[in-house]
A = this chain, B = another copy of it.
Amino acid sequence: MNNVKKALEELTLTEKFRQGNVRLNACPSRNVLKDVTSRWGVLVFLTLQQGTHRYSELRHKINGVSEKMLTQTLHALEEDGFVLRTAHPVIPPHVEYSLTESGKEVAVRVEELVNWIEVNINSILTAKDEYAAAHNEAG
């Protein structure tokens, strides 16, 4: 089946990455981009840009995120070198997340994008209404 074939190709890719220093000509930036622009990745950047946060603080501020997805998102961004994880060996556990230097670079660009959308959300919604009306006039 195609599935097997595809899985095999992906395995090969994974192994290339694992074995280390192979710089693929295929764009790895798309993988990083996927982490950054992921649903919760964006919100993590926005939140951490305002300073260091604990896990529970992130969970509280990023409304709607599940534990699993927050953990998963933080892991990915940590692996990409955008987020720094600092675990204090105390009981109860105390873990802090902050942006690295490169993380801050990304964050300002993410913020510019989000900021534009928030500023223009009203005209966007208006356009949406008009679009819906135009496509639903027979209603």
Contact = CB atoms under 8 A, between A and B. Distances in A.
A49 B20 CA distance: 24
A125 B37 contact: no
Contact of A81 (B36, B79, B110, B128): B128
A29 interface: yes
A14 interface: no
A32 interface: yes
A121 B4 CA distance: 16
Contacts of A50: none
A85 to B, nearest CB: 10
**Assembly stoichiometry (copies):** 2
Bin the interface of chain A by size: 35 or more
A12 B80 CA distance: 37
A94 interface: no
A38 B39 CA distance: 8
Interface string A1-38: 10110010000000000111101011111001110111
A43 B33 CA distance: 10
